[in-house]
Each structure stands twice: as C-alpha cells, then as structure tokens.
Amino acid sequence: MITRILIAHDGSEEARRAMEVATDLAVRYKAAATVLAVLYHPAYPATVNEVQAAEEEQRAFAEGFLRKAVEHARLRGLDVSVEIAYGHPAEAIVNYAQQHGVDLIVMGHRGMSNLRRFLVGSVADRVVDHAPCMVLVVRRR
C-alpha cells in the first residue's frame, strides 16, 4: 500500500514528467504527496554575498517550479505539500524519506554526459542505492 509519496523536483523537464506520473499514482492510491526541492550553497565561497546571491537565485527558481507543481496537482484534485531542503540532493531526498515514512520516491532522470557523470555522479543512482523505500525513476521519453 502506498500512503506517502515524495516527489523530488529540480525544475527540469524530467522532473515535470515525474510530477505527472506521481500525481496520477497519488490520486489512484489516495496517497499524501510532498514535492521536495533541494537547494545548495556553493561550498568554500569567497564572499558572504556569493552565498546569499546563490540562495536568492535558487530560491526564486525553486518557488517558481514548486508553484507550478502545486497548481498541476490541484488541477487533478490532489493536495500536495512542498518542502525546500539544503544540501546534496540525493542525501536530502533519502533523509527526508527516512524521517517522514515515505513509501515511494518519484524522481526524474536527466541523463548525463560522461564528463558530468564522472564529475558529479547521478542523483537518481544514489537515491536508488540508499533509499529506505521504493523508488520510481521517470526517464526521458
């Protein structure tokens, strides 16, 4: 039985697809749904202002796509809550799922260049490896 769904959203097209799939599932199972955006502060900055600016920019961006996600869910008759967390995306998603008894994590998968995969790794891979629950990864069409 699925009662709590966590939708990890980063504003990408893939995340929007994941949102659609998760909304359908939440309606079907009458599950509570939360949309989580994970922001970060640049590590080892030169000025405080750099950190504050990054936070302002990311927060404005996140609030934009979270608002659309809420509207999308509302149109389908679903109440969703939204959360903003800070840190490494995979770690924040897994921590949230652990702390809130999530049954299913739904997230998009961007696909990455080999260089980016080498440098930063895949968030979806890490969440699948460490999640305490089921994970549904929505790939590009």
* Contact positions vs other proteins (CB under 8 A): 39-51, 53, 55, 59, 63, 66-67, 70-71, 73-74, 78-88, 116, 119-120
The distance of closest approach from Cβ of residue 14 to other proteins in the complex, given in angstroms and rounded to an integer, is 17
Nearer to other proteins, 62 or 128 (CB): 62
DSSP assignment of 64-106 equals HHHHHHHHHHHHTT--EEEEEEES-HHHHHHHHHHHTT-SEEE
With CA atoms as reference, report the closest residue to 25 among 17, 15, 35, 33: 33
Nearer to other proteins, 1 or 48 (CB): 48
The distance of closest approach from Cβ of residue 116 to other proteins in the complex, given in angstroms and rounded to an integer, is 6
Q: 139: which DSSP letter?
A: P
Nearer to other proteins, 1 or 46 (CB): 46
The distance of closest approach from Cβ of residue 131 to other proteins in the complex, given in angstroms and rounded to an integer, is 18
The distance of closest approach from Cβ of residue 65 to other proteins in the complex, given in angstroms and rounded to an integer, is 10
Sheet strand arrangement including 134-138: 80-86, 32-39, 4-8, 104-108, 134-138
